[in-house]
Chains A and B, each alone.
Chain A
Amino acid sequence: QAGLTQPPSVSKGLRQTATLTCTGNSNNVGNQGAGWLQQHQGHPPKVLSYRNNNRPSGISERFSASRSGNTASLTITGLQPEDEADYYCSAWDSSLNSVVFGGGTKLTVL
């Protein structure tokens, strides 16, 4: 099954803003929207947003998601050391009848 495309790594400074991207196609991101997950080493994924910019309770407003066409984005403002993690996007693919994930972006906070 084909996946979504994410940059392997992004590095930003403390208190800066990072924007992570996730590119799919009209069968997944462009049609169904995307969700974003944060995963720290050795821990299960944590939902940051779903269906583009719906944020679960307890998730900081520093995390915001958006979509333009077939590309979804996650913007993290005021970067903190604890934001250093792997970030995955996901979407339901109506053509494949499956969930597809991006390869993940490792965010480093300098």
Chain B
Amino acid sequence: GDSVTQMEGPVTLSEEAFLTINCTYTATGYPSLFWYVQYPGEGLQLLLKATKADDKGSNKGFEATYRKETTSFHLEKGSVQVSDSAVYFCALNAGGTSYGKLTFGQGTILTVHP
């Protein structure tokens, strides 16, 4: 079945450091890929998405590129801020009969220190 694997956290960085959170997936067909962020005490919010191979999703300085050849969708940010501290989830939607349904990775806790 479909699955998403994220790098284990927690990840602790200093402000302005470079961030990479790895995400790989297994799916049949051509899934859409997402990164969600969950700030403390809040619900999940869509951070960015990509719907086909080689697409790059970007938002708030975060980027991720849909790599079909490596089945990956790694999240990157060039300079993190304290306000980026949150839990980040990689997810996929396989489409077809699983229309709308999301399969999530295990989440990665990011803590950014001043």
Question: Do A and B bind?
Answer: no
